[in-house]
Amino acid sequence: MGLQESIIFILEIVGTIAFAASGAMVGVRKSMDIFGVCVLGVLTAVGGGMTRDIIVGVIPPAVFQRPVYVAVAAVTSCLFFAGMYFKKISAEEKSHGIYEKIMLAMDTAGLGIFTVVGVSTGIRQGYEDNLFLLVFLGTITGVGGGLMRDIMAGVPPYIFVRHIYACASIAGAVACAYLSQRTDLVTAMAAGMAVVIVMRVLAAYYRWNLPRLKEKE
C-alpha cells in the first residue's frame, strides 16, 4: 500500500468513526435499543460508499470486500451507546445541547472526509475527466449514509433542513475534482475537506439556511 492509498484508508476509517457516531446519536435520541443504534451507525457510515460503488460498477462494493469498515462502525456505535447508557444522560440532554454539538462535529467531519473520498474513488476508477460524475460521486458518498439514517429513523432528512449540508458537500466535491486536475490528489482532497468544514462551521455559527416557504397560518 503506497502513501496515497494509506492516507485515503486512514481518512476512510476516521470518516467511518465520525459517521457511525452521528448515526448512533440519532438512534439514542430515538430511544432505540443497542441493535437499532448499531444498525443506524453502520448504515450511516457505509451507506453512501455502497451507493457510490454500485454507480461506478465496483461489485461487490468495497464494504463487502473489506469488512473492516463495518467492524469499525459497529464497534464505534456500541461504544457510543455504552457511554450514553452508563452516564445515564437524560432525554432532555440528549435532545438539546449535547445532541446538537455532537451531531455538528461528527457530521461535519464525516461529510468532509467522505465527500473527497468519493471524488478520489471516481478518479481511481478512471473518470478523472468527468467532472460532473466526480462531483456526484463525492456528494452521494458524503450525504447518502445520513439520508438513509434519517429515513430509517423517521426524521426529516438532515440534508434538507439544516445548515447548508448538501451544498457544502457539492462545493467541496467541486473544489477537490477541479484541483485534482491541477495538483496531486492528496492536496486536492485536503482542499476539498477544508471547503466542506469551513462552510458547515460558518453555516452553523451564523445559522445560514437555504430559503424555504413558510406555511400559512
Instruction: Give the per-residue pLDDT at 194.
Output: 97
Any domain includes 214? no
By residue range, what is the domain housing residue 61?
3-206
* Single pTM value for the model: 0.90
Any domain includes 216? no
Average pLDDT score over residue span 131-136: 96
Instruction: Give the per-residue pLDDT at 208.
Output: 82
Q: 3-32 pLDDT, tens per residue? A: 888 888 999 999 999 999 989 989 988 989
Alpha helix (H) residue ranges in 67-153: 68-86, 91-95, 97-124, 131-153
pLDDT at 212 over 80: no
The one-character DSSP state at 213 is P
Looking at the structure of the chain, the number of domains it has is: 1
pLDDT at 203 over 70: yes
Q: 155-187 pLDDT, tens per residue? A: 888 788 766 889 999 999 999 999 999 999 999
Any domain includes 215? no
Any domain includes 213? no
pLDDT at 93 over 70: no
Any domain includes 173? yes
Instruction: Report yes or no: 210 and 164 within 8 Å, Cβ to Cβ.
Output: yes
Instruction: Give the per-residue pLDDT at 114.
Output: 97
Place of cell 445560514: 208
pLDDT at 98 over 60: yes
Any domain includes 217? no
Any domain includes 164? yes
Any domain includes 67? yes
Q: How many residues does the chain have?
A: 217
Q: Where does residue 126 fall: left (phi above 0), alpha (psi -120 to 50 degrees), or beta otherwise?
A: left
